[in-house]
Amino acid sequence: MLDHLSLRIRVFLFFAALGFGILVAIGLGLGLGYRRLADPELLSAFVQGGIVAGFVALGLVVWVWFLFDVNVAKPIDILSGALRARAHADVTSEMDVAIARYLGDLAPAAKAAAHRLAETRSALAEAVMRETQRLAQEKARLETLLSDVPVGVLLVSGDHTLAFYNSQAVDLMAAGVAPGLDRRLFDYLREGPIRHAHDRLIATGDPDAATDLLCTTTTDARILSARMRLTPGGQGAAAGYVLTLRDVTADLSAHARREALLAEVFDRLRRPAASLSTLIGVIPEGTAGPAQMDSALRAEVAALSQAVTELARRHDEGRMDGSAQTQARASDLADGLKARLEAEGVGLNTQAADILLRANGFEIISLLDGIALHLGQDLAAADLSLRIEEEDSGAMIRLSWQGGPVSIGALDRWLEEPLDKMAPEIAARSVLASHATEIWPEALAEGRQSLCLPIRQARRATARPKPVVRTVVYDFDLLSRARTDKVAETPLDALTYVVFDTETTGLLPQQGDEIVQIAAVRIVNGRRVEGEVFDTLVNPRRSIPLSSTEVHGITEAMVADAPEVDEVLRRFHKFAEGAVLIAHNAPFDMQFLRRREAELGLAFDHPVLDTVLLSAVVYGQHETHSLDALTHRLGITIPEADRHTAIGDTVATADAFLKLMPMLQGRSLTTFGEVLTEVRKHGRLLKDLN
């Protein structure tokens, strides 16, 4: 209950209780004294004395309370109010600390805190203003950039609602009508491929993963090529994504025109070159002018004919090898064809294996769309069904129906028609040529007919490997750092370190044991550089005992194609050039490096620090200094799968050193030389390698 009262009231109640207690004590004392004397004549004297003593005591309490209230409680209240005003009401005026002159350093400290708060608030406001201006500029640049990019860009939330779109996206998916923010994406694009791609990206667990897909608009069944990438920060099903859209029809049309032009060029050149070659061949030698001119003319004609033939052959091979094709997911292709046919009033049942086809999805969809429409119009085909399945190293696309068979002549006529109304210059047959395939009719059981279209290259859809991280590696503080050639005098946080670890065939290098894996990371300016890692298996040119494999998990099969020790040690020496080497139990690892110095013509004469000895400096020799014990004390977790792997132990050792460094500096060990001097006091644990 007293917690809700002000400080001054609580002080007043304290002194009131104190005064009351003093009065009670005086009364009890006088009462006990009177009872012992038992003289009625002294009663009035005791009463008078008690009253005087009570008033004097009460006066003293009131006086002390008044002084305490005026000089302590009241100034504290005033200071707290002033601090609250500056904390919550943005008051910037100077605090009057004279009233709190009896509170020692409290008033100056409060004034300093308020002044610091005002400075921080002012600096923060300036920083926020600068950052706001910068963000506004970046926003303007981004809007300009995204409005001018030649592809449609959508930013979509995890529940598939639109949060951003540019003008190209409007043209591609909404026929020029703005789709509207906070609207479902599936109002404009068919749900199947989008949702499947989103689920695939989430399942990879890789925030940098991207996936390509074919999607179809809901209004006019337009086929769009798309790429999806998750946005940073989202997790699980709540992860949003960026979707870029591109209309492949225009690209296909331009590609077809180029192909037609090249074909025409080669056709026009091939005939005159052949005729000229034939003509030169029938003219007797020496009759086409002087002998020198005759031989030169024949050589040039032969070279021209050979060049035309070679270029035409390479052009035809380029069209046939499928290098211009992209990977299309079978389920996306099936969904795109179904959308096309449904927009034209034709139903289609689909069944697609989880495979990726090496094919131009737009061309295949357009080809099958035209054929399916002819089947319905010319043959009254019913119950159309599409099945895409794996077959050998490729895939088989089978379009089946209930009804009469299609003749070869009718199929040829259909293939001579334009592939798509938006690309009238492309014949449907050119799709077969560009994919190096054919299409043929085939009868099925129960009166069903089918058309078979094989795709030469396909593969099963598997989990995407984690991409190589390409980060920008920098530390601008290095530009202004003072350099010194004397390592001993260099501050610890100014040195460059290479932390490394090895896995070996055994523990006895002098008896022929060798390295099977070595890993290292660099520490620059007091931080581990994520992008600078050395990690490789090593072929030891000898067997790996089973007992060693049980420790580090490296088998002879794993190192069979790995580089040999000499090559790896040369690369590692270059990686560690100019750095201080750090290892946990460094004498063991350094043995495997230094025993090869003579044959390599290199010297591993780097300064060396050992985290075993650094741990002893910080925690004392009585502690256990294994890597597990050290990382446990420092709160570093080594994943079980990474323990006793070179890179796992290296990263753990590097993180341990980064935590030990400020602890060493706290013991006034700030330079390499000071640390080395202290480390040598623990030489009975391990030999110093410097």
**Catalytic residue flag (residue 115):** no
Provide DSSP, 508-558.
-GGGT--EEEEEEEEEETTEEEEEEEEEEE-B-SS---HHHHHHH---HHH
Q: How far apart are CA 78 and CA 69, in angstroms?
A: 12
Provide DSSP, 599-635.
HHT------EEEHHHHHHHHH-TTS--SHHHHHHHTT
Q: How far apart are CA 400 and CA 388, in angstroms?
A: 11
Q: How far apart are CA 572 and CA 473, in angstroms?
A: 20
Instruction: Note whether 16 and 69 are within 8 A (CB).
Output: no
Provide DSSP, 564-597.
BHHHHHHHHHHHTTTSEEEETTHHHHHHHHHTTH
Longest Cα pair distance anywhere in the chain, in angstroms? Answer: 173
Could you tell me which residues come within 8 angstroms of residue 384 by beta carbon, excluding any fewer than 6 positions away?
Answer: 341, 346, 347, 348, 349, 372, 375, 376, 399, 400, 401
Q: Which residue has the tokens 């010319």?
A: 378
617, two tokens:
């400096």
Q: Which of 255, 374, 573, 644 does the annotation list as catalytic? A: 644
Q: How far apart are CA 24 and CA 31, in angstroms?
A: 10
Provide DSSP, 38-92.
--GGGHHHHHHHHHHHHHHHHHHHHHHHHHHIIIIIHHHHHHHHHHHHHHHS---
Residue 227: is it exposed, middle or buried by C-beta count within 10 angstroms (0-12/13-18/19+)? middle
68: left (phi over 0), alpha (psi -120 to 50) or beta: alpha
Q: How far apart are CA 471 and CA 167, in angstroms?
A: 31
Q: Which residues are catalytic?
A: 644
